[in-house]
């Protein structure tokens, strides 16, 4: 039985969301077992895993995915987007965030150490999901997603809720080349040595984008420290976790 972790500030009537751990799927090691990324793992087992996610939410939604490319492009989801059969979406665009006001679209971000950030505006009934690895953090995809919610759907930043999923914590986000790779503004988020607190970086970016501090929350779950999650840094060859949000 699959069971998603949830974040309190995203518990909103008419909104469903969840961060799935690696249990309850049919993939074999090393991607055992709820690997949600079509790729090296078998097409049929990943499709079954995706169908289990859809079934958890009642089976009456279209799963909308991206070809994530570590950029800051945000896609607005249309009525014809997504699939409900679990198969890979060959038309999925290259981008790193999804946004919609259309009910029945389950937006999914795939990660194994990167952050999935889920967004919801209970006033305008808009949801979004973003993929933020360190490159996405450098390009501030969190703010790009908020900007799209504001500009395209007339959301007010102070109404938007955001939740940060399982990802490398301040204990494990080590960047030995940080002086080359990360902007100087990130230096104040060092958590010792070459370690960085990317949860705090995202919270700051969301706060700077106009979200209220009490509308921003994190599961504070480090993927590398805890075997419940897929972790690229720990396992290299592994599966991908799914984080999803949608409007009913």
What is the distance between the alpha carbons of residues 192 and 91, in angstroms, rounded to a whole number?
A: 43
Distance in Å, CB of 234 to Zn ion, minimum: 9
By CB under 5 A, residue 170 contacts Zn ion: no
Interstrand relation of 74-76 and 62-64 (parallel, antiparallel or unpaired): unpaired
By CB under 5 A, residue 241 contacts Zn ion: no
What is the distance between the alpha carbons of residues 144 and 123, in angstroms, rounded to a whole number?
A: 20
Q: Which stretch binds Zn ion (CB under 5 A): 32-40, 120-128, 149-157, 171-179?
A: 171-179
Q: What is the SS3 string spanning 70-86?
A: CCCCEEECCCCCCECCC
Name which position in 171, 187, 227, 248 contacts Zn ion (CB under 5 A): 171
Residues 198 and 133: beta-carbon distance below 8 Å: no
Distance in Å, CB of 140 to Zn ion, minimum: 24
- Residue (79 or 171) nearer to Zn ion, CB: 171
Q: Which stretch binds Zn ion (CB under 5 A): 22-30, 50-58, 106-114, 164-172?
A: 164-172
The residue count for the chain:
248
Cα angle for residues 166, 168, 171 (degrees, 5° grid): 120
- Residue (27 or 167) nearer to Zn ion, CB: 167
By CB under 5 A, residue 225 contacts Zn ion: yes
Contact string (CB under 5 A) for Zn ion, positions 203-222, x = contact? -------------------x
What is the distance between the alpha carbons of residues 66 and 64, in angstroms, rounded to a whole number?
A: 7
What is the distance between the alpha carbons of residues 14 and 3, in angstroms, rounded to a whole number?
A: 19
Q: Which stretch binds Zn ion (CB under 5 A): 101-109, 136-144, 162-170, 235-243?
A: 162-170
The binding site for Zn ion (CB under 5 A) comprises 169, 171-172, 222, 224-225
């Amino acid at each position: 039985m699959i069971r998603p972790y949830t974040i309190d500030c995203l518990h909103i009537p008419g909104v469903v969301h969840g961060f799935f751990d690696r249990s309850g799927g049919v993939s074999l090691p090393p991607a055992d077992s709820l690997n949600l990324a079509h790729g090296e793992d078998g097409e049929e087992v990943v499709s079954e895993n995706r169908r289990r996610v859809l079934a958890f939410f009642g089976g009456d939604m279209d799963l909308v995915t991206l070809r994530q490319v570590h950029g800051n492009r945000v896609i607005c989801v249309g009525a014809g987007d997504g699939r409900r059969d679990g198969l890979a979406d060959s038309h999925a665009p290259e981008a790193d965030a999804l946004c919609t006001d259309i009910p029945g679209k389950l937006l999914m971000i795939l990660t194994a150490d990167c952050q999935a950030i889920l967004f919801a505006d209970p006033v305008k009934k808009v949801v979004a999901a973003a993929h933020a690895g360190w490159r996405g953090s450098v390009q501030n995809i969190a703010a790009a997603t908020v900007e799209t919610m504001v500009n395209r759907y007339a959301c007010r930043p102070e109404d938007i809720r955001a939740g940060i999923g399982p990802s490398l914590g301040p204990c494990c986000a080590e960047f030995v080349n940080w002086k080359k790779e990360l902007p100087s503004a990130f230096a104040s988020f060092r958590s010792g040595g070459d370690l960085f607190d990317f949860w705090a970086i995202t919270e700051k970016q969301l706060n700077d984008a106009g979200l209220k501090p009490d509308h921003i929350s994190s599961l504070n779950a480090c993927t590398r420290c805890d075997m419940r999650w897929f972790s690229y840094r720990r396992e290299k060859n592994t599966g991908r976790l799914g984080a999803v949000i949608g409007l009913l």
